[in-house]
Amino acid sequence: MYKIVRSEQLADRIYLMDVEAPRVARACQPGEFVIVKMDEAGERIPLTICDYDRDTGLVTIVFQIVGASTQKMASLKAGDSFRDFVGPLGRPSEFVHEDLEVLKNRRMLFVAGGVGTAPVYPQVKWLKAHGIEADVVMGAKTKDMLILEEKMKEAAGNLYITTDDGSYARKGMVTDVVKDLVEVQGKRYDVCVAIGPVIMMKFVSLLTKELGIPTVVSMNPIMVDGTGMCGACRLTVGGQVKFACVDGPEFDGHKVDFDEAMKRQQMYRTQEGRAMLRLKEGHTHHGGCGFCGDGQE
């Protein structure tokens, strides 16, 4: 059992939890994720790692209520436990393994949308700990939906906040801020990392392609099973079939087929849609989730 030592509501339907998971805390790196399970009959829920403390053995997760399982999870309090807390899974951010001296000369921009702020934070924090300050653009629909603002201020070189409705900081989309930084303020970036809703990552990638900024996106929002079995996180990157949970979750944003990924997610929600995907994708459709018929082909 994995004890919850802190449970906090960050915003409407968004929660943070610190969980005792020493082995995960010792091994995890920015960009990776865990799978949690509340009880024997519970659903497996993939969640990105928001923070970790190797000394205390605590791993911080942030999640948004999107269905029955996460609604039930939101009711857990400090002192409750998860039956399973598996990780770290996926591949860490590429910069973790790069030469630090090379990395220190790289101008990095992070774009965080909504709950995507949670997986951006450990990356920016890791860079700060290694003497590298990155610019961060943080966006939310409203002021009340912003999360981890103070933590991000501590970690970022410069933090730019925008809200869709203008209820806090500036009004507009994260793409408006990126465009302003580059075209108006004259900032130059060697790489952009964008994490948030798939539609946001799509438009950030379209903009950065125009601006000539290589871009990394994290396809966490499309994961369901988290082990490469169910096939829900299948996507096309540079014309090749990939699975976000085992090949990613980070990919070249200029090569991801976002429209296909979004359409596929919609289809995967219904039995008829999953059957259509299984027929269309043939032997490359995993189907190991058990929802698509008779298992893998």
- The domain that holds 24 is classified in CATH as 2.40.30.10
102, 169: one domain:
yes
Give the per-residue pLDDT at 129.
Answer: 94
Question: Is there a single domain that holds both residue 83 and residue 100?
Answer: no
Of the listed ranges 56-60, 176-180, 259-263, 269-273, the least confidently predicted one is 269-273
What's the pLDDT score for residue 53? 96
Lowest pLDDT segment from 84-93, 159-168, 183-192, 196-205: 84-93
Q: Based on the number of CB atoms within 10 Å of its own CB, is 272 exposed (0-12), middle (13-18) or buried (19 or more)?
A: exposed
Cα distance between residue 214 and residue 70, in whole Å = 34
135 and 21 in one domain?
no
Q: What is the pLDDT of residue 290?
A: 42
pLDDT for position 109:
98
For residue 6, give the 3-state DSSP assignment.
strand
35, 46: one domain: yes
Compute the average pLDDT of residues 132-144: 95
Instruction: Give the residue from 89, 111, 146 where a domain finishes.
Output: 89
Does 167 lie in the same domain as 60? no
Residue 121: per-residue pLDDT: 96
- The model's confidence at residue 68, banded by pLDDT at 50, 70 and 90, is confident
Q: Which of 4-18, 28-42, 195-209, 257-271 has the lowest mean pLDDT?
A: 257-271
| Mean pLDDT for the stretch of residues 103-109 | 94
Domain assignment of residue 80, given as a range: 2-89
Indicate the residue among 44, 72, 89 that finishes a domain: 89
Do 231 and 148 belong to one domain?
A: no
Q: Say if residues 138 and 124 touch (Cβ distance below 8 Å).
A: no
213 and 248 in a single domain? The answer is no
Residues 150, 256: one domain?
no
How far apart, in Å, are the Cα atoms of 183 and each of 45, 61, 65, 108, 211? Answer: 40, 36, 37, 16, 9
Decide: pTM greater than 0.75: yes
Does residue 33 sit in the same domain as residue 106?
A: no
pLDDT digits (tens, 9 = 90+) for 18-42: 999 999 999 999 999 999 999 888 7
Q: How many domains does the chain have?
A: 3
* In the predicted structure, residue 143 carries a pLDDT above the cut 80: yes
Residues in CB range of 224: below 8 A, 6 or more apart: 46, 230, 232, 233, 268, 289
199: number of Cβ within 10 Å: 13
**pLDDT per residue as tens digits for the range 174-185:** 999 999 999 999
Q: What local confidence, expressed as pLDDT, does residue 134 receive?
A: 96
The percentage of residues in the chain with a pLDDT greater than 90, rounded to a whole number, is 69
Under the banding of pLDDT at 50, 70 and 90, the label for residue 292 is: very low
| Residues 135 and 109: beta-carbon distance below 8 Å | yes
pLDDT of 199: 94
24 and 73 part of one domain: yes
Query: DSSP state, 132?
Result: -
Residues 151 and 195 in one domain: yes
Higher pLDDT, 290 or 140: 140
Determine the pLDDT at residue 24.
Answer: 96
pLDDT (0 to 100) of residue 228: 63
**Region 189-211 average pLDDT:** 96
**CA nearest neighbour of 192 among 261, 123, 99:** 123
CA pseudo-torsion sign 93, 96, 97, 98? positive
pLDDT category at 295 given cuts 50, 70, 90 is very low
Split at pLDDT 50, 70, 90, the class of 288 is very low
pLDDT of residue 67: 83
Q: Kindly report which listed range (78-87, 122-131, 211-220, 278-287) carries the lowest average pLDDT score.
A: 278-287
Do 288 and 233 have their domain in common?
yes
